[in-house]
Structure 1
């Protein structure tokens, strides 16, 4: 399966139309359509970054299927690989973030942090009550 077929399948699997992916990624719907029909070359890493955000798919996956990165052989993949744990509070504070193509301000990130704090605080209190 080539890059264009895989891109189309990823988009459809997420349930997005070409226009929805264009809105989410900032890549024009005409360009996406041309890519999926095989009428364009493999996009640049910058375009792949935008598409990865729009598809909510790891950038490295798109870079692999586009041929920019070598795909590891099964024998090279570690069965015991554990993804590193990310401190979400630090991640929110230390990174420039966007959601569905909208850049988040410092105030947006602060509100997200507050909502997560409340959400997990409630769950922690529930767990403490059930333990008693």
Structure 2
């Protein structure tokens, strides 16, 4: 049995918001080695690496995730029955945002929250590609947002709302992701609302800092 495609990314998601050093303390592995496993390569030699069963045991205990399931995903064990996708009955076009936890995936619609078992994912890399095709962007360690559904952006608070009144569901972006996707969010809202995008400069700093804003 082959190792799960995107297994390194899967390990990174399992780690979630836990820092590498915290994961190292819990597992007894070095933080550098854990990161190498997530990248699926030894950064010193650039050789592809695969965790041993003993390493997977330590990670399963540190992440509170099934050792058997990790062994299956790493290609050491066979699974009798598997599903091809974690979204067999979900239309991603209707999903506002997705939260991926260690054991479950939460799909949020405008009116509901749908839970699915993360163990049903066979190809995690393919799953991420599918999300990207539907304009889902990674806004935090375990948060993916469908940019097409964003209706209001409150930049100062780093919040994305899915209704124009900003009264319903929202997500808060990490500072790093907000910086990365700021222009995309603003441009998407401008296109959606039929507004023009102008270019301005913030003169309060020593260097000109380009800012985007919407104009009706």
TM norm structure 2 = 0.32
Paired residue for 1:5, among 3, 9, 16? 9
- Structure 2 unaligned blocks of 5 or more: 43-48, 84-216
Q: What residue in structure 1 maps to residue 121 of structure 2?
A: none
Q: What residue in structure 1 maps to residue 41 of structure 2?
A: 39
Q: What residue in structure 2 maps to residue 30 of structure 1?
A: 32
Q: Which has the higher strand share?
A: 2
Q: Are residues 74 and 51 of structure 1, via their aligned partners in 2, closer, same or farther at CA, if it must alter by over 3 Å?
A: closer
Q: Are residues 34 and 53 of structure 1, via their aligned partners in 2, closer, same or farther at CA, if it must alter by over 3 Å?
A: same
In structure 1, the residue corresponding to 2:70 is in which secondary structure?
helix
Q: What residue in structure 1 maps to residue 58 of structure 2?
A: 50
Q: Is the 8 A contact 1:3 1:42 kept in 2?
A: no
Q: Are residues 66 and 74 of structure 1, via their aligned partners in 2, closer, same or farther at CA, if it must alter by over 3 Å?
A: closer
Once the two structures are superposed, the pairs formed by residues 1-132 of structure 1 within 5 Å of their partners are 1-12=5-16, 15-40=17-42, 41-74=49-82
Q: Which has the higher contact order (CA 8 A, sep 6+)?
A: 1
Give me the CA root mean square deviation. 1.6
Q: Which has the higher helix share?
A: 1
Distance in 2 between residues matched to 1:43 and 1:8, nearest whole Å: 13
In structure 2, the residue corresponding to 1:72 is in which secondary structure?
coil
Q: Which has the larger radius of gyration?
A: 2
TM norm structure 1 = 0.51
- Structure 1 unaligned blocks of 5 or more: 76-132
